[in-house]
Structure 1
């Protein structure tokens, strides 16, 4: 792993309206630290040498919360989707080879050991994209991992687009990915906002890569709670217990 340049893109531009707070979602404290710092600390402990944080809402406060960290900031002033956020972050990347790890700034439970294993599998398998997935007890609200007859991932289907059969799939998308940099660069510019939200979705990169015959893979989190995001005050309160339990888990 050390032979390849490892770059993280941490998505932290959203407001998080479901928190019903004036504070940007990634700045809410969990166990004494803002959510974004849990994610960045995980990336650093997993060996990511370069970290680009995509900021937007309350960008000055997010910058201040990360004072002292060696990070770069990409600004997403218009909330045009996760694909757009990654496009903006890639403007800071001059390299043509390496591994890009996309992380969610509001997902504080991912453990460094899991992130290291995720990256290691991605590199050793020579995949163009590896999706971090989880088998969850209730997949409601998540994009489902759709596989072909041989078990290979072919798409991430958002819940509103799922057939009845696909709704029963319990393997879901975490919103976190490893990409081979050249593969990502060749596909991210092909994203379209031809959808209800008029946004560029990073999940569509998986569909584009599949259509191009690129190599796709998945890595399943050892504990499904590691992929959980914080979207509400109730989830934030529950988060301290989850953090403690995960820290004690093997």
Structure 2
């Protein structure tokens, strides 16, 4: 974003990006919300001061899997499904989140990922499916083979996990990949090897699940959603 401000705090029509997501989650009856913060975390905490959130700190940026590991202590007294969302996805709909949670429970899945099919999937992890609703694995763009790069369905970075399976298996992931990071997506293959179900729900509007990576993209999405 060419700024030293945390990405989730960039302004979108008068308020930080992350507050749009916070408003979406506000009336969903979630038992607890934990925000994983790192760079300039005090600014993110200030922006969310009006919400009853807990915060977990990720001192080093070691990937999505590592970020979720940091939330384990804050969720120690919680039992149920854990919804994982990126803070820079301001347009995700409440209905989409509800549909994702519903499919997760109907399929009795250990993990369910929200997917989409944008016109240009470059840069996004590809979703390799066993069937319409079930996932074999998710491969990050830099780790994809030529054949995998031809797949149009992508990982949006939004997931639901059964809590016990999530934290029991995060310790089994490693960083032997092109980025040298701990990928949350590696859990899908781990669960399959354990005989557990890994599901996918595809949104019909790819734009709602896009993260914001540039000011141009921010402006384009704001225009698309009439903001």
TM-score range, shorter chain: over 0.9
| SS state at 1:53 partner | strand
Root-mean-square deviation (CA), in Å? 1.7
The answer (yes or no) to whether the contact 2:37–2:58 under 8 Å persists in 1 is yes
Q: 2:112 aligns with which of 130, 136, 155?
A: 130
Gaps of 5+ in 2: none
Partner of 1:235: 217
Decide which of 42, 45, 58 is 1:76's aligned counterpart: 58
* 1:195-214 matched pairs, under 5 angstroms: 195-214=177-196
Q: Which aligned runs of 4 or more in structure 1 are off by greater than 6 angstroms?
A: none
Question: How many residue pairs get matched?
Answer: 227
- Whole-Å separation in 1 of the counterparts to 2:173 and 2:226: 39
- Residue among 86, 108, 124 paired with 1:142: 124
> SS at the partner of 1:244?
coil
| Structure 2 residue 148 is matched with structure 1 residue 166 | yes
2:85 paired residue among 92, 97, 103: 103
Deviation at residue 201 of structure 1 after TM alignment: 1.0
Structure 2 length as normaliser, TM-score? 0.94
Superposed displacement of residue 38, structure 1: 1.3
Tell me the alpha carbon deviations over residues 177-228 of structure 1, each in whole angstroms, 9 at most, x when there is no partner.
Answer: 0001111122111111223433211111112112222111001112111111
Q: Secondary structure at the match of 1:50?
A: coil
Q: Which string of whole-angstrom CA distances, capped at 9 and with x for unpartnered residues, describes residues 40-78 of structure 1?
A: 222223332310000001101101001111000000111
CA 1:86–1:151 in 2, change beyond 3 Å: closer, same or farther? Answer: closer
CA contact (8 A) 1:30 1:239 kept: no
CA gap 1:225/1:125 in 2 versus in 1, 3 angstroms: same
| Alpha carbons of structure 1 residues 29 and 215: separation in structure 2 relative to 1, 3 Å | same
Partner Cα separation in structure 2 for residue 25 and residue 63 of structure 1: 14
Paired position in structure 1 for 2:139: 157
Partner residue in 2 for 1:225: 207
Q: Structure 1's 97 and 201: CA in aligned 2 closer, same or farther, altered over 3 A?
A: same
The answer to whether residue 21 in structure 2 is matched with residue 47 in structure 1 is no
